[in-house]
Structure 1
């Protein structure tokens, strides 16, 4: 884990130094908000247009990075510009928009002060994906852990789900976990 911790610190300094908006999402965010489980990597969501700049920053720092144009992978750190989910031919947009940026907060992760997406953003994305152990993921358990430990802003959560075109999909999944959205 110390390798990932050091790499996270490098990425944090590069992103903050270049003033690129970013947030930690995925399992690392769920780790901070909910159930503590081992981390295998750190997922970061950045401003949509900034991915080429991140590649350049890492390369200028003499880091060998992998990028396929949709993400950057570097030694346990994955940087994404867009995590839109496509289900049954329907797109469910998920990128670092203005409301997500306004709700991000600084928290310590592995010795680094990271920007963390709001718990509502993490819950919305994880319950849309709803991947389980058969895919090597923990989406439902992560969302349930966040819900147990945090009082969610249901108005913002509903706005996020509407922006993701996912309200009808995720609302019943939230109800199963005891979260009722306003009508």
Structure 2
């Protein structure tokens, strides 16, 4: 974990130094907001059109990175511009839009001061994906931990789910946690 911690601090300094909008998402954000399960990596969502800049920043810092055009991977850190989900012919957009940027917050993670996406953004994405141990994921468990520990802004959660075209999909999953969405 200390290797990921050091790498996260490097990425945080590079992104902040170049004024690239970013936020930690996924299991690492759920780790901060909910259950403290072990982390294998840190997922970061960045503003659109920033991946090539990030590759250049890392390479200028003499870091060997992998990029396939949709993500950058460097030593336990994964950087994405778009984590939209396509299911049954429907697109469920998930990228760092203006609302997500406004609601992100600074918090410590592995010794770095990171931006975290709001808990509502993490819950919305994880309950849409709803992957489990059979896929090596913890989406439902992560969402449950966040819901137990945070008073969610239901109006914002509804807005996020509407932007994701996922309100009807996630509504019954939220009901399982005692959250009623009109």
TM tier, smaller = over 0.9
Aligned CA RMSD, in angstroms, stands at: 0.4
Please report how far the alpha carbon of residue 52 of structure 1 lies from its aligned counterpart in structure 2 after TM superposition: 0.7
In the alignment, the residues of structure 1 paired with residue 59 and residue 40 of structure 2 have an alpha-carbon distance, to the nearest angstrom, of 23
Please report how far the alpha carbon of residue 180 of structure 1 lies from its aligned counterpart in structure 2 after TM superposition: 1.3
In the alignment, the residues of structure 1 paired with residue 48 and residue 71 of structure 2 have an alpha-carbon distance, to the nearest angstrom, of 11
- Which digits, 9 at most, give the CA deviation of each residue in 1:14-52, with x for residues without a partner? 000000000000000000000010000000000011111
For 1:2-41, list aligned pairs within 5 A.
Answer: 2-41=2-41
Q: Which residue of 2 aligns with 1:115?
A: 115
Structure 1's unaligned 5+ residue stretches are: none
Q: Which residue of 1 aligns with 2:158?
A: 158
Give the alignment's TM-score, normalised by structure 1: 0.99
In the alignment, the residues of structure 2 paired with residue 55 and residue 90 of structure 1 have an alpha-carbon distance, to the nearest angstrom, of 31
For 1:128-143, list aligned pairs within 5 A.
Answer: 128-143=128-143
In the alignment, the residues of structure 1 paired with residue 51 and residue 158 of structure 2 have an alpha-carbon distance, to the nearest angstrom, of 28
Structure 2's unaligned 5+ residue stretches are: none
Q: Which runs of 4+ in 1 moved over 6 A?
A: none
Please report how far the alpha carbon of residue 172 of structure 1 lies from its aligned counterpart in structure 2 after TM superposition: 0.5
Give the alignment's TM-score, normalised by structure 2: 0.99
In the alignment of these two chains, the number of paired residues is 182
Please report how far the alpha carbon of residue 141 of structure 1 lies from its aligned counterpart in structure 2 after TM superposition: 0.5
For 1:40-119, list aligned pairs within 5 A.
Answer: 40-119=40-119
In the alignment, the residues of structure 1 paired with residue 49 and residue 67 of structure 2 have an alpha-carbon distance, to the nearest angstrom, of 14
